[in-house]
Structure 1
Amino acid sequence: MTGRRKFLKEAIVTGTAAVLAKPGASAAQTAADKAPAVERPHAALAAAETLAPSLDEAPAADSAHIGNPGSDFMVDLLRIAGIDYVAAMPGSTFRGIHESIVNYAGDTRPQLIVCTHEEASAAIAHGYAKVAGKPMACLVHSTVGLQHASMAIYNAWCDRVPMMVLAGNIADATKRRPGVEWYHTAQDLGALVRDYTKWDDYPVSLQHYAESFMRAYTMSVTPPMEPVLIVADTELQEQPIADPRDMRVPPLREATPPVGSPDALAAAASLLCGAKAPVIVADRAVRTQDAMDTLVQIAQALNAPVIDLLGRMNFPTNHYLNHSSHQARLLAQADVILALEVADVWGLTATVPDTISRPSKPRAKGDTQVISISTAYLYGKSNMQDAERYFAATLPIAGDAQASLPGLLRAVLAAMTPAQRSAAAAREQPLKLAFEKMRNDAREAATRAWDGSPISTARLCQEVWNVIRHDDWAMVSPPNPISMWPQRLWDFTKTWQFIGSGGGYGVGYGAPAAVGAALAHRDAGRIAVNIQTDGDLMVLPGALWTAAHHRLPLLTVMHNNRAWHQETMHIQRMASRRDRHPERGVIGTVLHDPPIDYAAMARSMGMWAEGPISEPADLGPALARAMEQVKSGKPALVDVLTQPR
């Protein structure tokens, strides 16, 4: 076993060519066998379009046994791509890959992350990728599994997140057993999600599968990053490789991200340096700490306030140039706006209020110049309307914002005249004073209803901050339902400390995405914190079981306002417009008859839990007890009865 593990490690790390045929060891695994042997990979790991230099003969197959199945080869491709985890709820159309993961790969690199719903599988992969910086795979069971997963795939599409979706299917109608296998098969499975995947394919041979897999992976991780789909036919999974000598594996070579041209970046720098009131707006721009540091340097050189739209963790919250809470005022005053991977550029200069006629209203001055650096110019699909309203930027730059930041910094430093440096320096002190006032105002606002019951969202967030602030922590949930209090009160200084928003705003994203993010944070030695809304958890509560099963250090704190509160407000608004009964807006939008015991739910799934807590004085001690569990490497949940927002 030691020799094989050493071989596997060296083969994957160094790219050493390996034989295509498995050794003849038995694949049997007993319950007592906690760490089964990892069999050596049979993919030609080294060169594109070249054969492995020496090949063993494949074990013979007979009518009852299969030697050298194609699914082992499919698992090797996951290894080559560096995919450490595969999320799945079991399904018969990918049983070959499932078995290869747990026996051939020994349930390690990749490891199976056990899920209770396909939507959770995809959402876990979504959350993981945003923290790990690389894709995770999810397996889905043909028609029914892919339809279950489709909402989470759509969220990842809207969020520009890479993901490898592998779907089982049975193409050959003569090989389908009567009944269920016909219901669970499609002629064109990819059509179900083609409007919100970057690429899909249905390979008809293992050679085809290898090339499609490498193409799909490369496309998924090249900005604009998106989910991709490969259909793994059951025949390819379950039948033996006909002749290992025929197999060729293209090398994995990631593409260089697209960068804004030097001339375009120089033009952008000229506009920014000449501006009297420049504003930087970042959405899904930053993926690494180096990129955040570069953005800080650009902002400081210009003394331009930054609005972080929180698609990612773009800018430190404790930096004097972070003026996210001043968005409306800054956009109204700006003469030049730099938009970095902003999903809705039109929305920076105008808005549509939720009134009866919905007239467009300006947010910016009519002569405001907008620079937009985005990969959105490099692709597009028309059916799903995630592209937002069209806006013709003054200077549109087609390129990855993160990859373009170093060039933009150089251009700004080169373009700035002494007079412009002096004008920028003059902005520093007023911006520092405005920043301090913004932070003090937030602290003052947080004290309102401090001792109220149910507990205010500001107090909930501050009590969470008190128990995590001295640890290596990361927030893995969106802040919108809690009035953005974490970003207003906590010090976020690293990109990994915040997962960003959820993409398509599909309810059910939060809990499983937090689990996926916690998986990546566990590998990095960090504690993940999830402030979880109640309505979202009820879509996929099985994510709690996955967290307990895999022993993820995840602190979940329920924002339990016992309602889909936003929908309550929508119905009340409709009733008010129609002069009816706004108080009846709670019908169909609340979760209190009967109330849901989330702590009991979590305990039933093997998670430590406490609550519901409604008295503010009890919250801090309960969170401290939960953190003891999390620091020991286990998930914990604290159910907190809260104010609506």
Structure 2
Amino acid sequence: MTTNDARADAGPPAEPLTDRIPQWGSDALVDLLQRAGIRFIALNPGASFRGLHDSLVNYAGDAGPQMLLCLHEEHAVAIAHGWAKVTGEPMAVALHSNVGLMHATMALYNAWCDRVPMLVVGATGPLDAAKRRPWIDWIHTAADQPALVRNFVKWDDTPTSVAASLESLARAWDITRTAPTAPTYVVLDSAVQEQQLTDRPALPRISEGRAADQPTASAESVARAAAILADAASPVVLLGPGRRDESAWADRIRLAEALGARVITDLKAGSTFPTSHPAHVPGPGFFLGEHARAALRGADAVLALGWIDLAGTLAQAAVPDSVAVVSATLEPLLANGWSKDHQGRVQADVWLPAEPDAAVTGLLAHLAPGTPAAWTPRPAPEPVAGPGRIDLAQLSATLQSVLADVDTTLVRLPLGWDGESWDFEHPLDYLGYDGGGGIGSGPGMTVGAALALRDSGRLPVAVLGDGDYLMGVQAIWTAVNQQVPALIVVANNHSYFNDEVHQEKVAVVRGRDVSRKWVGQRIADPAPDLAGLARAQGAVGHGPITDRARLADVLRTAVRDVRAGATVVVDVVVETGYTPAMAAGLTREH
């Protein structure tokens, strides 16, 4: 599949043609990508990897990896990010020299903070100055190109021969798939890609999919942690990101029931535990809510399973130092001095250096089974009938009523979302946030997740803020080009409202005019045509919808179109506002 009209194949990767003889350096690189089982490579074209591009078109053919043409490098990375959120496996991304890398840096930072695997293939003009074309190769060549992203990728390299490039790609493939996962970045010299081969290079031995062996905690540490938790009268489990498979989901439920624990989840992490289960603490959010703080204040032991910002959470809930803390995380293995995404330091009573779900498996082996809870998912809230303005609560209720009989994956939710408004009963019900808070990632991540979910029977739905949508809208073109069904609902409050909240806080502290908090924040005069922007990418666009009396009918039409294979955007104008926990979390001093 070699043209813009080629469509992504949702089936297994095609078998590589083993009888081909690579003639150019980039041909051998494609052989390695195929051996890794990489199905897609997201890219915006660039001359620095023209050799690789030719090999993908004329050497690989239908055997792949298939190119996903993107209109911006940031979208290419975001698509790979969304893919990894669903599959747990890396997609490949190609970035054009230093300029393409600079476009992609924010999306790479998001992927780094979200700890997702990704094989990023960079390229550069000839490192040998004698081979550079006048002007253009010089401005697209850097002495240390990976220095731009070295602080937020897991590993990088700039090899200078075909053999070294094959070795580097194999190493990057191993490293990105090994927990704690994060993107890796390898720069391919354009001269190496275009080198004519005189013999067939030896390909390194590699495997496909998730790496078979992952870091794990010692048996002694697991036993100590299990003893602490089993002795606790009021344990609390903090659930961060977890695997998307149903067996891991079931094990988390078994662990909570074996411990008799309360369970707190996080909207940044996605669905990791059934929110209607009696053990679940109401009100998951992007910041800790009052119910969660109360549960933690009453705990005599805390088990943190990959929880995002454990130190800040314990401090926010004023958990005494006397409360035993068990932390299952590999985060200390990625901490560096540049980025502070490692959050505050926690002196845990037991540190389990393992993936959280591996720690769950280990702990269950030491615990007596609990009594399985019987519970029934709560009924969805009823939409308010009749005309009127729309707020996020009404948008949630109406969307749920329209999707009542549809297996849905919420790819993204906006910051003002009330975690109580929608129950999650499956590991793919909700995928979580973007990691780094880099606005503009939502559309691209939606496309990547929808690609991974295609033919799964689940309908991908993203509820995005208007600012996020406007920064990334061109990513939708790739979904249309590849015929990837998805529904994007824009919760359009005509504002960068996050910053209105901050400006209100500053004005109050300084005794100034709070009514002017919107100045420099409102996306109005003119209001952008969000549905028109979707149609400009080839998608179906509806809106703006300003009256709740119309909302359900428009959403039903949109869902019907998505189920028929379309990419659809609905612009829903909503009232500004955040939940109390969100507003407090954004403006809290410490």
* TM-score, normalised with respect to structure 1: 0.82
Q: Is 1:463 aligned to residue 398 of structure 2? A: yes
Q: Secondary structure at the match of 2:225?
A: helix
Deviation at 1:454, TM superposition (A): 3.1
Structure-1 residue corresponding to 2:286: none
Letter in 2 for 1:176: R
Give the whole-Å Cα distance in 2 for the aligned partners of 1:216 and 1:492: 35
Q: Is 1:180 aligned to residue 136 of structure 2? A: yes
Give the whole-Å Cα distance in 2 for the aligned partners of 1:299 and 1:584: 48
Q: Is 1:319 aligned to residue 274 of structure 2? A: no
- Would the alpha carbon gap of residues 450 and 467 (structure 1) be closer, same or farther in structure 2, given more than 3 Å must change? closer
Does the 8 A contact of 2:488 with 2:568 survive in 1? yes
Deviation at 1:232, TM superposition (A): 1.2
2:192 to 216, 236, 242: 236
- Would the alpha carbon gap of residues 565 and 120 (structure 1) be closer, same or farther in structure 2, given more than 3 Å must change? same
Give the whole-Å Cα distance in 1 for the aligned partners of 2:100 and 2:15: 31
Does the 8 A contact of 1:124 with 1:512 survive in 2? yes
Deviation at 1:493, TM superposition (A): 2.1
Aligned counterparts, 1:392-541, within 5 A: 392-413=347-368, 443=381, 453-484=388-419, 488-541=420-473
Give the whole-Å Cα distance in 1 for the aligned partners of 2:387 and 2:224: 53
Give the whole-Å Cα distance in 1 for the aligned partners of 2:571 and 2:83: 24
Deviation at 1:515, TM superposition (A): 0.8
Aligned length: 562
Does the 8 A contact of 1:286 with 1:313 survive in 2? no
2:41 to 86, 91, 94: 86
Structure-1 residue corresponding to 2:494: 562
Q: Is 1:158 aligned to residue 121 of structure 2? A: no
Q: Secondary structure at the match of 1:250?
A: coil
Does the 8 A contact of 2:15 with 2:63 survive in 1? no
Give the whole-Å Cα distance in 1 for the aligned partners of 2:46 and 2:75: 14
Q: Is 1:389 aligned to residue 324 of structure 2? A: no
Q: Is 1:220 aligned to residue 160 of structure 2? A: no
Q: What percentage of residue pairs aligned between the two structures are identical?
A: 37
RMSD: 2.7
Letter in 2 for 1:81: A
Q: Deviations over 1:322-369 (max 9, x none)?
A: 214221111111110100011311123103xxxxxxxxxx52234211
Structure-2 residue corresponding to 1:336: 301
Q: Is 1:293 aligned to residue 250 of structure 2? A: yes
Give the whole-Å Cα distance in 2 for the aligned partners of 1:525 and 1:516: 16
Letter in 2 for 1:121: A
Does the 8 A contact of 1:257 with 1:403 survive in 2? no
Aligned counterparts, 1:621-632, within 5 A: 621-632=553-564
- Would the alpha carbon gap of residues 350 and 304 (structure 1) be closer, same or farther in structure 2, given more than 3 Å must change? same
2:227 to 258, 266, 270: 270
Q: Is 1:305 aligned to residue 305 of structure 2? A: no
Aligned counterparts, 1:141-152, within 5 A: 141-152=96-107
Q: Deviations over 1:75-114 (max 9, x none)?
A: 2222111211111111111112222223322355311111
Deviation at 1:31, TM superposition (A): 10
Letter in 1 for 2:410: M
Q: Deviations over 1:241-270 (max 9, x none)?
A: 2211x4233232735111222221111111
Q: Secondary structure at the match of 2:207?
A: coil
Does the 8 A contact of 1:113 with 1:546 survive in 2? yes
Q: Is 1:130 aligned to residue 62 of structure 2? A: no
Give the whole-Å Cα distance in 1 for the aligned partners of 2:332 and 2:465: 34
Deviation at 1:413, TM superposition (A): 2.0
Q: Secondary structure at the match of 1:290?
A: helix
Does the 8 A contact of 1:307 with 1:322 survive in 2? yes
Q: Is 1:206 aligned to residue 162 of structure 2? A: yes
Give the whole-Å Cα distance in 2 for the aligned partners of 1:501 and 1:168: 29
Letter in 1 for 2:415: N
Name whichever of 342-351 and 131-140 sits farther off.
342-351
Does the 8 A contact of 1:287 with 1:402 survive in 2? no
Give the whole-Å Cα distance in 1 for the aligned partners of 2:340 and 2:165: 31
Does the 8 A contact of 1:344 with 1:387 survive in 2? yes
Deviation at 1:571, TM superposition (A): 1.0
Q: Secondary structure at the match of 2:471?
A: coil
Q: Deviations over 1:156-204 (max 9, x none)?
A: 1000000111111121111111112211111111111000111111122
Structure-2 residue corresponding to 1:50: none
Structure-2 residue corresponding to 1:17: none
Deviation at 1:120, TM superposition (A): 0.8
Does the 8 A contact of 1:334 with 1:365 survive in 2? no
Q: Secondary structure at the match of 2:42?
A: strand
Give the whole-Å Cα distance in 2 for the aligned partners of 1:554 and 1:344: 32
Deviation at 1:30, TM superposition (A): 9.7
Structure 2: 5+ residue stretches without partners: 284-290, 578-590
Q: Deviations over 1:584-603 (max 9, x none)?
A: 11111110111011111111
Q: Deviations over 1:495-528 (max 9, x none)?
A: 1222122101111111111111111011534321
Deviation at 1:490, TM superposition (A): 3.1
Aligned counterparts, 1:545-556, within 5 A: 545-556=477-488
Give the whole-Å Cα distance in 1 for the aligned partners of 2:159 and 2:455: 33
Structure-2 residue corresponding to 1:75: 30
Letter in 2 for 1:323: V
Deviation at 1:218, TM superposition (A): 1.1
Stretches (4+) displaced over 6 A? 29-35
Q: Is 1:606 aligned to residue 514 of structure 2? A: no
Give the whole-Å Cα distance in 1 for the aligned partners of 2:230 and 2:358: 21
Structure-2 residue corresponding to 1:16: none
Does the 8 A contact of 2:88 with 2:116 survive in 1? no
Deviation at 1:42, TM superposition (A): 6.8
- Would the alpha carbon gap of residues 299 and 568 (structure 1) be closer, same or farther in structure 2, given more than 3 Å must change? same
- Would the alpha carbon gap of residues 529 and 179 (structure 1) be closer, same or farther in structure 2, given more than 3 Å must change? same
Give the whole-Å Cα distance in 2 for the aligned partners of 1:147 and 1:619: 40
Letter in 1 for 2:575: Q
Does the 8 A contact of 1:259 with 1:401 survive in 2? no
* TM-score, normalised with respect to structure 2: 0.90
Give the whole-Å Cα distance in 1 for the aligned partners of 2:206 and 2:5: 38
Give the whole-Å Cα distance in 2 for the aligned partners of 1:160 and 1:452: 44
Structure-2 residue corresponding to 1:26: none
Structure-2 residue corresponding to 1:359: none
Structure-2 residue corresponding to 1:15: none
- Would the alpha carbon gap of residues 509 and 455 (structure 1) be closer, same or farther in structure 2, given more than 3 Å must change? same
Does the 8 A contact of 1:341 with 1:373 survive in 2? yes
Does the 8 A contact of 1:309 with 1:324 survive in 2? no
Q: Secondary structure at the match of 1:106?
A: helix
Structure-2 residue corresponding to 1:13: none
Larger Cα Rg: Structure 1 or Structure 2? 1
Q: Secondary structure at the match of 1:207?
A: helix
Give the whole-Å Cα distance in 2 for the aligned partners of 1:612 and 1:533: 14
Q: Is 1:247 aligned to residue 202 of structure 2? A: yes
Letter in 1 for 2:110: N
Letter in 2 for 1:335: D
